[in-house]
Structure 1
Amino acid sequence: MAAEFDTNHVKNIVLLGHAGSGKTSLAESMLYEAGVINRRGTIPLKNTVGDYHELEQERGNSIFSKLMHSRWRGYKINIIDTPGYDDFVGEVISALRVADTGVMLLNASMGVEVGTDITWQYTEQFKTPMIFAVNQLDHDKSDFDKTVQQARDHFGTKVVMVQYPLQQGAGFHEIVDLLRMTVYKFRDAGGKPEKLPIPDSEREKADRLHKELVEAVASNDETLMEHYFDKGELDEDEMKDGLKKAMINHDLFPLFCLSAERNMGSGRLMGFIDNVCPAANEMPPQVTRRGKPLPCDANGPVCLFVYKTVSEPHVGELSFFKVYSGTVRSGMELVNETTNVSEKISQLFILEGNRRTNVNELTAGDIGATLKLRNTHVNNTLHEKGRDIELESIAFPPPNMSMAIEPVNKGEEEKLAQALHQLVEEDATVIVEISPELKQTIIHCQGDMHLAVIRWKIEHYSKIEVKFLKPRIAYRETIRKGADAQYRHKKQSGGAGQFGEVHMRIEPWFEGMPEPAGLNVRGRETHELPWGGKLIYYNCIVGGAIDTRFLPSILKGVMEKMQEGPLTGSFVRDIRVSVFDGKMHPVDSNDISFKLAGLQAFRQAFRQADPQLLEPIYNLSVMCPDELTGSVMGDLQTRRAIVEGMESEGHFTRIIAKVPFAEMHEYSSALRSLTQGRAKFRLTFDNYSPVPYELQKKLTEDYSRQAVAEEV
């Protein structure tokens, strides 16, 4: 059986916006308008198609992206509803990767919020054609004009009004459509509106805004500009063509009016999506890793891209994909370009939230899912045999939060490891690190809400009770001055003995420093350390006091001690070691003797060389509303942060600072509490810097006490 919709009649949209902007309610209204459901669910009643997951119903907001679809006037509209909190940004990015149009919802009472700004950065990265929809115009505090102005302040004059409301607040029920020059009048229950002429009182405003819309469309196309100059107007078909081209080029962003909860305006938005928004084959073709274009053609080679995986209890792993070329049919065998493993597409599904419907085939441009691809993961490309096609991967953002995790009950470590592996398979923004240095398993994620979801999944799906702990800090140790030391290792207990004596100088290393003073340099080695920094190792032996064959053993002893510095047991970095004298025994000297002598000489010299503890410093970028800047700054001062600057971005302020990682524990929770969830932040590693004297003293004393306790 052929696919129900061809490539030209499949539209893929992603619903975007800050938490609370009404994405899930809009999806519900769109499904209702299309007849997919016969009753609209609501978030308070926990019965929407989108937020079906028990965790979402418990928390009252979207956490995972959901694939749904509607049939509307001969078109199939695939709808991906996404979460609004930045903690779940991975769900947003993966959805944007496969969508051909984004619908950015703006809360009419809140305007452009921080989450909107952050999401917008990704839409620009993907060059996704965008529609703005000002939602909740029936809210008592809605302010359409202010919201539009903020949108233009943030996203430029490319934001063009296609509609505006005749009234706002509880009385909202009429929308002026500037493309069709019609008023849509809705009943209180919403649904299909009555079409009325624009009243005389609005004619001047509507004509002016219509002219602005026409000029904006014409200015992006020379042919249309000529027509506009000739006729002083563009007809509806010319407007549709012009809008589509401008949207594809990211030159115009049409703006619509909605009350998604009361189902006012969603039908007109759907009409615009199927009439104007581009299908996948009208977008620029995908480019493979080899730089070759891959046209979205149903008759081309079969190629699909996996953008999301979900593990469902009692079902298995569900892989979501977009068909970028060809027509995929159930029973096909495709090759995973990344793993080079053949995968059989046993079943194909289209989805309505958690409801799956079997189909026989999906054509280029469509989005669907399949089960039990054993060796296929997010970012993998599947294609027909004999081809060499690999599409560009999704680049996910780095984590913002780290926590150590361990099972409450001993003996469940392996079970927890399996659960964490499954988490990483499903969520590419989760990184699990088993750190030999810190002797902890660390989860790196996007924030405290993200961490709460991770805990819920482990405890509900894997039935493991876990606890989160403050992660240890990966300190580094170095020195501030030079020191000489010598150590003789001597052991005699019957048979062959051990003997080795090493004289060593250590100095703090920095780029461009002069050669060791007063020593006869015979050889130099530079070692880039796995944990960062360098060890510069000099052979300054004269007169054969130590045979050169023992120098690698001395180095091995130094390196061993550098993995457990004397201050806190942390890695040592940026040291210059010069071995300049020593003694050996013709019979008892061997590699182990000189390794131990080198280790102890280094240890003694290090303690005399004014040791310095270093801590990781991170770049911090906080975006917050202007009126909350003072609170955020005050909190940063308590975290030893150095504020380097502030930048104004619309009605937001971006604070740029450097902050010790040790002070960022639970910052996600603190920032959310300070700003009612209206601020976002990003952390990236910068460098290692000296720890303040009092803190170094405390950390060193704590380490010494712990070492004594462990010996007892």
Structure 2
Amino acid sequence: MAVEPEKIRNVALVGSQGSGKTTLAEAMLYRAGTIERTGRVEDGTTVCDFSPEEKAAGHSQSLALASFDWHGHKINLIDTPGAPDYAGELHAAFQVADLLVFVIDASSGVDHRATAIWHQAADAGLARIVFINKLDREHASFENVLAELQDAFGAGIAPLELPIGNGPNFHGIADLITDKAYIYDSGSAEEAEIPAEMEDQEQEVHEQLIEGIVVADDDMLERYLEGDVPNPAELEVVLGRGVADGSVFPVVCGSATGPIAVDRLVNFLVEIGPPPTDRTITVTMSDIDTEPACDPGGDQLACVFKTISDDYVGQISLFRVLSGTIRRDDNLTNSSTGNSERLRGLVSLVGGKQQDINSVSAGDIGGVTKLQQTHTGDTLTNAGRAVIQLEPWPEPVLAYGLVPRTRAAEDKLGTGLRRLIDEDPSLQLERSEETHQTLLWGLGEAHLRLAISRLDRMGIEVDTEDMRVPYRQTITGTGDAEGKHKKQSGGHGQFGVAYVRIEPLARGAGFEFVDAISGGSIPRQYIPAVEAGVREAMADGASLGFPIVDIKATVYDGKHHSVDSSEFSFNMAGKLAFNAAFAQAGPVVLEPMARVEITVSSEYQGDVMGDLSSRRGQVQGTESGPWGEQVIHAVVPESELVRYAIELRSLTGGRARFKAERVAYEILSGALPEAATA
């Protein structure tokens, strides 16, 4: 049955790899009665890590949707991977989630990855709460993690609970709003009084919390100053407004493996989490920007945010409905392609399992099977041309060259790669005409290895190689040479002579051909053949094989034979003349240069700049980023950036990111790398 938008919660679990997000999702599904027993990530038995690759790796590699009911509400839970190589999955979740639950490991605290995701969430304006997990582990410390949160993210951090017991003795929580304890010794929550030994601490934090909440509401603050303490229900209303507008970030705690206090976390999602009606998403309709209301009775409008390939049902497109109600067998238009799609199979998902449903209403998330021409990021609508303005996917930074192992793999590779990119737009395909490589770009080594593994599962076996640098050649002086092609083998022979002079052009000018023939030394019909020969010689690249660019070639004289001359003869004469002239003209190798922008934690700035110098980079300046990082601008040879994504992560412990753009070609300084001529 369709669910009212006010009773829907679209929630993404985010945080560092290993913080326990997938285990927390498992515990929430168990508490909701959706599953009968909890699986383990280590055993490959969890609901959300359902792909063969995830089971083998022992961690999440793509987002998973698991929907369940809780106290009359529907929660669409999105479990996301924590590793930066899978940032495209996190990006997809950001497009449709209304609330993020930051899962923090109580034994390791707030690390750089959690901080980076928090900054992304703040930039996106998303509501956030924090769940401090694994409080039943040795060396777990709620107090230390809370202090780290407050130091890293500011005064909006507001603890709603305190743990009862430490480490393996953790067995309950103290609710700071109700002044009640909840003990989990029996496996379920049992209400109790606050333990005597923590009464003073609980009361102090309770008063700080109440004061922090009431200041957000003038009427409530006035009542509070007059001695009228708001009841828990009133406090939750104001707290919910603070969460929705991004000024308050509640902190709750527990253990997903217990599971302890997981049910209370889900209660908070329902009680203070924002419904989809609170979020506005910009849509361009007939060239006019608008923010459609989250109305089940409005025009049908949905956005596909993730595509999954299922071994049994084929392609499943996950979508969020922004407006209207989408029903089974509806015909909607894909705004990106203009094609009509019939939605034959609507499904609700719990990880890798699907259940057929009849409709999905505004604010809700569902799936549709076997769409023919709809991909991630596309819009489905009955309202003419409507395009949802999504943030661009993360730019890839590392490329592998793909080499099919067999002819059969070569035949299927194009189809397999298109399927991968339809599922994950943070992958990009490039076919380099200069290096003759098929390049697959991704967000890191693990991201690309996953893509290769998925190709292998499709029966497409490939080997990988590093991206080759597209060197070029040019000249620094002039050259002038004769090209003679003469051959006699019975009957008509082959004869053509061309004199070609070459000189350099400005960088980036390309190629210019000048016909300076006079007196008919080369008949007019053979001049194009000479030009074609010169162009072919430039493409062949002489002895090194790199394309030759930025040259002006002038054919000024030649010889022909009335019987033996032909287009082929003068084509060969043009090649020979160019190659001989090129050897005289001071040939040099050009290497591509990239403008690089590196965002790095300030403590690693010196290391990164020193490393850039060792890579022949030219630092052009630095500036402060919006979150206190340092942004370094430099120009670096592309040959030094082939594996930079891996090396930068190693150098900074993952505390840096970069983007690069080719800006120019410059004369190679130093020797040409051996790999370039291999």
Q: Which TM-score applies when normalising by structure 2?
A: 0.86
Provide the rounded CA distance (Å) in 2 between the counterparts of 1:640 and 1:309.
Answer: 41
Q: Residue 603 of structure 1: CA displacement?
A: 3.9
Aligned partner of 1:445 in structure 2 is: 442
What is the match of residue 6 of structure 1?
A: 4
Q: What residue is the counterpart of 2:142 in the other structure?
A: 144
| Pairing 1:88-103 to 2, within 5 Å after superposition | 88-103=86-101
- CA shift digits 1:89-120 (9 cap, x unpaired): 11111122111111111122222223223333
1:17/1:590 CA distance change after superposition, 3 Å: same
**Bigger mean CA offset, 132-141 vs 119-128:** 119-128
Letter in structure 2 aligned against 1:364: A
Partner of 1:294: 292
Cα separation, 1, equivalents of 2:219 and 2:482 = 86
What CA distance in whole angstroms lies between the structure 2 residues aligned with 1:648 and 1:261?
38
AA of the residue aligned to 1:482: G
Which one of the candidate residues 466, 472, 477 is aligned to 2:468?
472
Deviates more, 1:546-555 or 1:265-274: 546-555
Verify: 1:114 aligned to 2:112, yes or no: yes
Give the whole-Å Cα distance in 2 for the aligned partners of 1:361 and 1:168. Answer: 47
- CA gap of 1:565–1:505, structure 2 versus 1, over 3 A, is same
How far is the alpha carbon of 1:246 from its aligned partner?
2.9
In structure 2, do the counterparts of structure 1 residues 381 and 651 end up closer, same or farther at CA, with 3 Å as the change threshold?
Answer: closer
* Deviation sequence 1:430-478 (CA, Å, 0-9, x none): 223333322222221222222332232222x322333222332222333
The 2-side partners of 1:52 and 1:219 are apart by 45
AA matched with 1:9: K
Relative to 1, partners in 2 of residues 1:201 and 1:142: Cα closer, same or farther, differing over 3 Å? Answer: closer
Confirm or deny: 8 A CA contact 1:64 1:91 kept in the other structure. yes
Contact 1:561/1:603 (8 A) holds in 2 = yes
Deviation (angstroms), 1:418: 2.5
What corresponds to 1:577 in structure 2? 552
1:14 deviates by 0.5
CA contact (8 A) 1:614 1:691 kept: yes
Q: Does 1:534 align with 2:534?
A: no
Q: Structure 1 residue 16: deviation in Å?
A: 0.4
Partner of 1:307: 305
Higher deviation after alignment, 285-294 or 126-135: 285-294
Aligned to 1:162: 160
Q: How far apart in 1 are the matches of 2:182 and 2:453?
A: 45
Q: Deviations over 1:18-39 (max 9, x none)?
A: 1001101111111122121232
**Structure 1 position 360, deviation (Å):** 1.4
State the match for 1:278 in structure 2.
Answer: 274
Match for residue 385 of structure 2? 388
Counterparts of 1:184 and 1:602, CA distance in 2: 88
Against the structure 1 CA distance between its residues 633 and 22, is the aligned structure 2 distance closer, same or farther, given a 3 Å change threshold? farther
AA matched with 1:155: F
Q: Structure 1: which 5+ runs fail to align?
A: 511-532, 704-712
Return the alpha-carbon distance in structure 2 between the equivalents of residues 387 and 213 of structure 1.
49
Matched, 1:613 2:589: yes
User: Distance between the aligned counterparts of 1:150 and 1:606, measured in 2?
Assistant: 65
1:242-279 per-position Cα deviation (integer Å, ceiling 9, x unaligned) = 33333333222222212122122222211111111111
Query: Could you tell me which amino acid in structure 2 is paired with residue 444 of structure 1?
Result: W
Q: 1:692 to 1:130 in 2, by over 3 A?
A: same
Amino acid in structure 1 at the alignment position of 2:437:
Q
1:26-64: CA deviations, max 9, x gaps?
Answer: 111111221212322222333222222232222211112
Counterpart selection for 1:485 from 480, 487, 511: 480
Matched to 1:288, the amino acid is: T
What CA distance in whole angstroms lies between the structure 1 residues aligned with 2:557 and 2:213? 83
Task: State the 1:659 CA deviation.
Answer: 5.1
Q: SS of 2:118's equivalent?
A: helix
In the alignment, structure 1 residue 320 sits paired with structure 2 residue 289: no
The answer to whether the 8 Å contact 2:597/2:631 transfers is no
Q: Report the residue type matching 1:569 in the other structure.
A: G
Superposed CA offset, 1:313-344 (max 9, x none): 23211111111111111121112122222211
Q: 2:256 aligns with which of 257, 260, 263?
A: 260
Alignment of 1:520-599 (within 5 A): 533-535=508-510, 537=512, 559-566=535-542, 568-573=544-549, 575=550, 577=552, 579=554, 581-582=556-557
| Residue identity opposite 2:442 in structure 1 | C
CA separation of 1:562 and 1:41: change in aligned 2, threshold 3 A: same
Name the CA distance, whole Å, in 2 between partners of 1:188 and 1:687: 64
Tell me how many residue pairs correspond in the alignment. Answer: 670
| 1-structure distance, mates of 2:407, 2:423 | 26
Relative distance call for 1:167 and 1:161 in structure 2 (3 A) is same
Comparing 52-61 with 639-648, greater Cα deviation is found at 639-648
Task: Write out aligned runs for 1:178-577 (5 A).
Answer: 178=176, 180-188=177-185, 190-197=187-194, 199=196, 201-203=198-200, 205-218=201-214, 234-288=230-284, 290=287, 291-384=289-382, 387-459=384-456, 461-479=457-475, 481-487=476-482, 501-507=498-504, 509=506, 533-535=508-510, 537=512, 559-566=535-542, 568-573=544-549, 575=550, 577=552
Distance 1:397 1:186, change over 3 A: same
In 2, Cα distance between equivalents of 1:666 and 1:47:
35
Q: Equivalents in 2 of 1:147, 1:322: separation in Å?
A: 34
Secondary structure, in 3 states, of the residue corresponding to 1:50? Answer: coil
* 1:543 to 1:22, Cα distance in 2 relative to 1, 3 A: same
C-alpha distance 394-485 of structure 1, shift in aligned 2 (>3 A) = same
Tell me what 1:662 maps to: 639
Give the TM-score of the pair, scaled to structure 1: 0.82
Secondary structure of residue in 1 paired with 2:109: coil
Aligned mates of 1:169, 1:655 — CA distance in 2: 43
Choose 534-543 or 544-553, whichever is displaced more.
544-553
Alpha-carbon separation, structure 1, partners of 2:144 and 2:75: 31
Contact 1:482 1:508 in 2 (8 A): no
- Cα shift readout 1:674-698 (whole Å, capped 9, x = no counterpart): 78x7556434234456576553275
Structure 2 unmatched runs, 5+: none
CA distance in 2, matches of 1:158, 1:584: 85
Determine if contact 1:88/1:450 at 8 Å carries over to the other structure: yes
Match of 1:522 in 2: none
Cα distance in 2 for partners of 1:51, 1:111 equals 24
Closer/same/farther in 2, CA of residues 155 and 478 from structure 1, 3 Å limit: farther
Shift of residue 212, structure 1, vs aligned partner: 4.2
Q: Are residues 160 and 490 of structure 1, via their aligned partners in 2, closer, same or farther at CA, if it must alter by over 3 Å?
A: same
Quote how far apart the aligned CAs of 1:560 are: 4.0
Take 2:628 and 2:641, find their aligned partners in 1: how far apart are those partners? 26
Give secondary structure in 2 for the equivalent of 1:165: strand
Q: Distance in 1 between matches of 2:511 and 2:93?
A: 49
- Alpha carbons of structure 1 residues 189 and 96: separation in structure 2 relative to 1, 3 Å: farther
Instruction: Tell me the distance in 2 between the aligned counterparts of 1:324 and 1:548.
Output: 66
Deviation at 1:356?
Answer: 1.3
The equivalent position to 2:55 in structure 1, one of 29, 38, 57, is 57
Counterpart-to-counterpart distance in 1, 2:186 and 2:593 = 56
